[in-house]
Structures are given as structure tokens and as C-alpha cells.
Amino acid sequence: MTWIDRWIQKQRINQVIRKIPPGSSVLDIGCHQGELFMAMGKHLKTGFGIDPLIPQSVVKPRYQLIKGQFPDDWKIDAELNCITLLAVLEHIPDEKQIPAVKKIFGLLSPGGLAILTVPSEKADRVLHFLRRAGLIHGMSLEEHYGFNSADTIHIFESAGFKLIKHQTFQFSLNNLFIFKKAE
């Protein structure tokens, strides 16, 4: 990762971390190296991360990272009150998005939150330019599958979630969505 990749990642984490209630049990889908959990520090009760690109599974005092694909490799029975997806939904092929979100809904406790970031359509053009210029590695840009961020609400509401918040950040290149499972 370049310093710009890390800056973009940190901006996403900063947006999401303020929305996670302190003392939460969190599943971070597409966790990378566990940066979200490290940033949460003592505000994290328990963390689970899953990512197919980490070299191996990792166990730390407050969190563990699992090498694998969600939902196929998720085998842990845990009470979760928050599930995060930071720049992940756009990497899931269309036909797998709703089944993955239904699995997320089923894993969350009543009243639980799904908090995610997805890039706007303009972001892909900017990221492709930055990658061609050698300024970013652009983590798996080829997997964006032409994702339209406006579809996010339909995908989550079709699984039973209620939209709580939607806002843009990073000059409207990124979207933050917060969905809630009914209590």
C-alpha cells in the first residue's frame, strides 16, 4: 500500500469508528490487517475480521482475523451488535450481494448495526487515474463490477434492514451507510 492508499483507508475508518457504539462486538468483513480494531482500541469489546487476502489467521487479545471469504468461511457463533464493510460491497459480484447481506442480517443481534462505506461512481475514475500514475495500488479495483452506490439501500432493505443514515465524504467520492436490524 502507498501512503495515499493508507490515507484513503484511514478516512474510511475515521468515518465508521465514530458510528460504532463503544463496547461493541464487531465483525469487520474485508478487515485487511485489522486496522479498524487497532483504531478502536479499548472501545472494542470483541472483534472478528474476515478477509481472503490476509496471509494467515491471527489471534490478538481483543480480536481475531480469519483468512477466508465471507460468508462461505464464516464459522464462528458469536453475538454481534455491529458488522462493518469498508469498501467491500462493490467487490462482491451482483448475484452474491443480497445473499451476503441476508447472512449479515441473520448474524446481527436485534437492534444491531451494519455500517459500510462504498465509493461513488466518480471514485473509480479517480482511483484508476491514481493507479496509472503509480500513486496508489488501488486494492482490487478490478473487482468493482460496475457497482452503483445507489443500489446499496435496495440491497440492504431487501434483507430486512432499515436505513438510519446516508452521507457522503471525501469530496463526495465515498458514501457512508448505516442500517439497523429491528429490535
C-beta separation of 90 from 117 below 8 A: no
CA distances in angstroms from 135 to 35, 87, 124, 127, listed in the order given = 21, 19, 14, 9
CA–CA gap between residue 131 and residue 121 (Å, rounded): 16
- Tens digit of each residue's pLDDT (9 = 90 or more) over 55-95: 999 999 999 999 999 999 999 999 999 999 999 998 888 89
Residue 90 DSSP label: G
CA–CA gap between residue 84 and residue 75 (Å, rounded): 17
Least Cα distance to 156 among 111, 102, 96, 82 occurs for 102
Pairing of strands 174-180, 162-169: antiparallel
Residue range(s) defining the domain that contains residue 77: 3-180
> What pLDDT, on a 0 to 100 scale, did the predictor assign at position 139?
55
C-beta separation of 43 from 20 below 8 A: yes
Least Cα distance to 139 among 178, 98, 86 occurs for 86
> What pLDDT, on a 0 to 100 scale, did the predictor assign at position 183?
84
CA–CA gap between residue 151 and residue 1 (Å, rounded): 29
What are the strands of the beta sheet with 24-29, ordered from one edge? 58-59, 63-67, 44-51, 24-29, 80-86, 108-119, 174-180, 162-169
- How many domains would you assign to the chain? 1
Question: Phi, psi (5° rounding) for residue 83?
Answer: -125, 130
C-beta separation of 119 from 173 below 8 A: yes
Written as one letter, the residue type at 143 is E
The C-alpha cell that represents 68 in the structure block: 477466508
Q: What is the pLDDT along the chain (183 residues), one digit of tens a residue?
A: 777 778 778 989 999 999 999 999 999 999 999 999 999 999 999 999 999 999 999 999 999 999 999 999 999 999 999 999 999 998 888 899 999 999 999 999 999 999 999 988 776 666 666 667 775 665 555 544 567 888 999 999 999 999 999 999 988 889 999 999 998
Largest CA distance in the chain: 48
> What pLDDT, on a 0 to 100 scale, did the predictor assign at position 147?
72
Q: Which CATH number do you get for residue 30? A: 3.40.50.150
> What pLDDT, on a 0 to 100 scale, did the predictor assign at position 57?
95
